[in-house]
Amino acid sequence: MLKKLEQISTKKIFSNPYWEYFFDKYRMPNGEIGEYNYVNSRGSTMMIPVLDDGRVIMTKQYRYLNQRISIEFPGGGVDKGLTPEENAAKELLEETGCKYKKIIKLGEFNPFNGVTNEICHAYICKGLNYEENEKQEESKRNEESEEIEIEILTQKEIDEAIKSGLIWDGMTMAVWSLYKAHISAN
């Protein structure tokens, strides 16, 4: 039977508006003291916005750490004070200019469980309406590090883009896997 690892101490090393970086000491299964560095997160949301014709809205942006363009589903870290579903609505509006009439929870997962405690909440959004408003424009100005373009792809085009490596974002692929399981079960 696997043993629960006991936390001995924890220390916040650094924080920013998105993450907190911690250093813990814990008791390893062999009884000795181990050290663990990790990112503490409020979680994230990622949505698959499905148009009435079945095509999907995706975002395209430059990812600094990998120095390349990434095609992804809209999403982002959960803002302080918001529920995951409220955050999904906010991120969808900010990144695509759309509001949804119906949201379906697909599931949740940890995108990198050896480095962060983040839980990503995955959703399908349907009944989309484009909403240009001041709040969206203000949020775009506040995210100076983001430049986002919209891509609208068929489900087959998404599958092909994953196979060819054009879509390489791990969270996007995980959410797509949840989506495919959902549609095959329904």
CATH of the domain at 108: 3.90.79.10
Q: Cα 105 from chain centroid?
A: 13
- Say if 1 falls within a structural domain: no
- On whether both 154 and 67 belong to a single domain, the answer is yes
Residues 19 and 105 in one domain: no
Map 16-80 to HEC letters. Answer: CCCCEEEEEEEECCCCCEEEEEEEECCCEEEEEEECCCCCEEEEEEEEHHHCEEEEECCEEECCC
Number of domains in the chain: 2
Is 12's pLDDT higher than 50? Answer: yes
Query: In the chain, what percentage of residues exceed pLDDT 90?
Result: 87
CB neighbours of residue 114 within 10 Å: 7
DSSP state of 142: H
* pLDDT confidence of residue 146: 74
Is the confidence at residue 186, as pLDDT, over 90? Answer: no
8 A C-beta contact, residue 39 and residue 26: no
With beta carbons less than 8 A apart as the criterion, state whether 56 and 152 touch: yes
Pair type for strands 102-109 and 120-126:
antiparallel
Let me know whether 147 and 106 are in one domain: yes
Q: Are residues 15 and 103 in the same domain?
A: no
User: Which domain range does residue 165 map to?
Assistant: 44-185
Return the pLDDT at 137: 53
Q: What is the pTM of this model?
A: 0.90
Tens digit of each residue's pLDDT (9 = 90 or more) over 102-159: 999 999 999 999 999 999 999 999 999 987 654 445 445 445 667 999 999 999 999 9
Contact 103, 90 (CB under 8 A): no
* 14 and 89 within one domain: no
77 shares a domain with 25: no
Task: Please name which of 124, 139, 148, 133 lies closest in space to residue 46, comparing C-alpha atoms.
Answer: 124
Pair (160, 117) in one structural domain: yes
